[in-house]
Amino acid sequence: MFEGLGSKLGDIFDKLRKRGALSEADVNAAMREVRIALLEADVALPVVKEFIDKVRARAVGQEVIRSVTPGQQVIKIVHDNLVEMLGSEASAINTVAVPPVPILMVGLQGSGKTTTTAKIGRMLQREQKKKVLMASLDVQRPAAQEQLRVLGEQAGVPTLPIVPGQQPVEIALRAMTAGRLNGYDVVLLDTAGRLSIDDALMAEVAAVRDAVHPVETLLVADAMTGQDAVATARNFKERIGLTGIVLTRVDGDARGGAALSMRAVTGCPIKLIGVGEKLDAIEPFHPERIAGRILGMGDVVSLVEKAKEVIDEAEAEKMARKITKGEFDLNDLLQQLRQLSKMGGLGGLMGLLPGIGKIKKQMAEAKIDDRIIKRQEAIILSMTPEERAKPAMIHASRKRRIALGSGTTVQDVNKLLKQHAEMAKMMKRVGKLGPKGLMRGGLGNLLGGLGGPGGPGGLPPGFPRG
């Protein structure tokens, strides 16, 4: 149900048809779409406003790079700012203190604290060779302590023996004592899920904090969280004090706007993300990935940058003029094929786009790879200049010659000609949109034409189309 921001902004700027610097009106129009996109991605409203103000100020007056549309230019600015706001610096779990180092895990019910605790315990033990002890202070939910014990067994991380009837502060102190006596480096304290407005339970976790003085207090939060992310993160920050955030269920399909909200409200880094049910499914946080996801697109910015590098502007202009006149011959197709190769081939291009897995599979099934591009290039190169300019003149005997010359078959030649005919038809339509439509429409249709079973729909929605 979500439309990628890329195509939305594309629509706006297609209407504006402006070149040169971004005017305030352009930027305002774009910012309305950016705002909706962020809200759809569950970024909290106050954070959206703050973000938009910042981006607007930076975008106005920016020069638009030729061959890149203003829409893409704005996306790049938005994306860069998003990455910046999400925190570009990597931030690991801090275990530098006098051992045993206490780490406190807090969060709402069902956010994934216990599983995350076991994942972090396993990670610290395996990757940093720390001796880790885990203890559950959850005396609320039935069998919560048992859950951590079982997970500890699975992860090979020791847990504090359960003493029925003990209260959270007692358990925490017992864990620290056990940690000291048995030479543990880290003591992970998993707490009960609690509402940030539940005074009694918030006081309880504050008492635990005061008893053990944790080096890290991590808020575990669900990537599916909506607008509430702000209230929850702020309350936990104010009542308990936080040093970092762990975002769970990033393997779901939520857009993850909560990451931006919580980062903005608490100023705390997002340290880790949970990406699956298995105990090794925990990873460092990469702001670019979440930024692309919030905007509903893959790494479009890299794509824009690549396009900027390889597309010769003069050539693009020339082709644009031809296309507006409805001319698109095999020479133009050749040029597009070569541009595609320069951008890293289909594989390279696909790697930059969202929903790659599915398309790659489709391409594999249809046996489409970069060799096809090479082969098509060879076919065109085996044609005479007249043939390239007037494909209609290519009849049976010429086809046989071309096939022979390029080491392909007549069917391959036919396929290429048919594809070209379809593209030329599309190009005529693209031409009506003006020069800007060229690159996007050209590549999009080219890929669509090659898409086999994927057909013209083979491109993910985030990919800007003419």
Partner 1 sequence: MNGKLGWFARLRAGLSRTSSRISEGVGAIFTRRKLDDETLQELEELLISADLGPATAARLTANLAKTRFGKEVSPEEVRTALAEDVAEILEPVARPLDVNRGMRPHVILVVGVNGSGKTTTIGKLAKQFRDDGKSVMLAAGDTFRAAAIEQLQIWGDRVGAPVIAKAAGADAAGLAYDALAAARNQGIDVLLIDTAGRLHNKQNLMDELAKVVRVIGKQDPTAPHDTLLVLDATVGQNAHQQVETFKAMVNVTGLVMTKLDGTAKGGVVVGLADRFGLPVHAVGVGESADDLRPFDPRDFARSLMGLAQ
Q: Which single residue is written with the structure tokens 């607008």?
A: 227
Q: Per rule CB under 8 A, is residue 196 in the interface with partner 1?
A: yes
140 near partner 1, rule: CB under 8 A? yes
User: Which SS3 state, helix, strand or coil, does residue 186 take?
Assistant: strand
Task: Among 257, 287, 435, 458, indicate the residue that binds partner 1 (CB under 8 A).
Answer: 257
DSSP state of 4: P
Q: Which stretch binds partner 1 (CB under 8 A): 10-18, 54-62, 102-110, 329-337?
A: 102-110
* Choice between 275 and 443, CB closer to partner 1: 275
Residue count at the site for partner 1 (CB under 8 A)? 50
| Contact between 39 and partner 1 per CB under 8 A | yes
Q: Is 167 in the site for partner 1 (CB under 8 A)?
A: no
Q: Which stretch binds partner 1 (CB under 8 A): 39-47, 211-219, 264-272, 372-380?
A: 39-47
Per CB under 8 A, which region of 42-50, 294-302, 438-446, 449-457 contacts partner 1? Answer: 42-50
Smallest gap, in angstroms, from Cβ of residue 437 to partner 1? 28
Structure tokens at 405: 């010359």
Query: How many other CB atoms sit within 10 Å of the CB of residue 253?
Result: 9
For residues 346 and 393, the answer to whether their CB atoms sit within 8 Å is: no
Whose Cβ is closer to partner 1: residue 12's or residue 421's? 12
Selected range binding partner 1 among 34-42, 71-79, 363-371, 427-435, rule: CB under 8 A: 34-42
Token pair 């940058």: residue: 305
Return the amino acid letter for 217.
Answer: T
CA dihedral 219, 221, 223, 227 (to 10 degrees): -100
How far apart are CB 2 and partner 1 at their closest, in Å? 8
Q: Which of 93, 135, 258, 300 binds partner 1 (CB under 8 A)?
A: 258
**Residue closer to partner 1 (CB basis): 52 or 323:** 52
CA of residue 36 relative to chain centroid, distance: 18
* Dihedral-angle region of residue 176 (phi above 0 means left; psi in -120 to 50 means alpha; beta otherwise): alpha
21, 25, 143, 410: residue in contact with partner 1 (rule CB under 8 A): 143
Does the footprint of partner 1 cover residue 162 (CB under 8 A)?
no
- Kindly identify the residues of this chain, within the stretch 226-255, that bind partner 1 according to CB under 8 A: 226-229, 231-232, 235, 249, 251-255
Tokens encoding 126 = 């395996």
Which residue lies nearer to partner 1 by CB, 344 or 461? 461
59 binds partner 1 (CB under 8 A): no
Using an 8 Å Cβ cutoff, are 368 and 450 in contact?
yes
Q: Strands, E, within 137-195: which ranges?
A: 186-190
Least Å distance between CB 432 and partner 1?
A: 30
Cis peptide before 100 (omega within 30 of 0): yes
Q: Which stretch binds partner 1 (CB under 8 A): 126-134, 191-199, 307-315, 386-394?
A: 191-199
Kindly state whether residue 142 participates in binding partner 1, applying the rule CB under 8 A: yes
Residue type, 197: I
User: C-beta of 288: minimal distance to partner 1 in Å?
Assistant: 21
Residues 290-316: b if buried by 16+ CB within 10 A, e if exposed: bbbbbbbbbbbbbbbebbeeebeeeeb
Nearest to 273 by CA among 425, 91, 82, 108: 91
Look up residue 22 and give its two tokens: 């971004």
Residues 102 and 446: their CA atoms lie apart, in Å, by: 57
Identity of the residue, 76 or 293, whose beta carbon is nearer to partner 1 in the bound complex: 293
Does 207 sit near partner 1 (CB under 8 A)?
no
Contact pick of 197, 364, 404, 410 for partner 1 (by CB under 8 A): 197
Q: Parallel, antiparallel, or unpaired for β 270-274 and 282-284?
A: antiparallel
Residue 269 near residue 91, CB atoms below 8 Å:
yes
Residues near partner 1 (CB under 8 A) are: 1, 35-36, 39-42, 44-45, 108-112, 114, 140-144, 146-151, 154, 195-197, 200, 222, 224-229, 231-232, 235, 249, 251-255, 257-258, 277
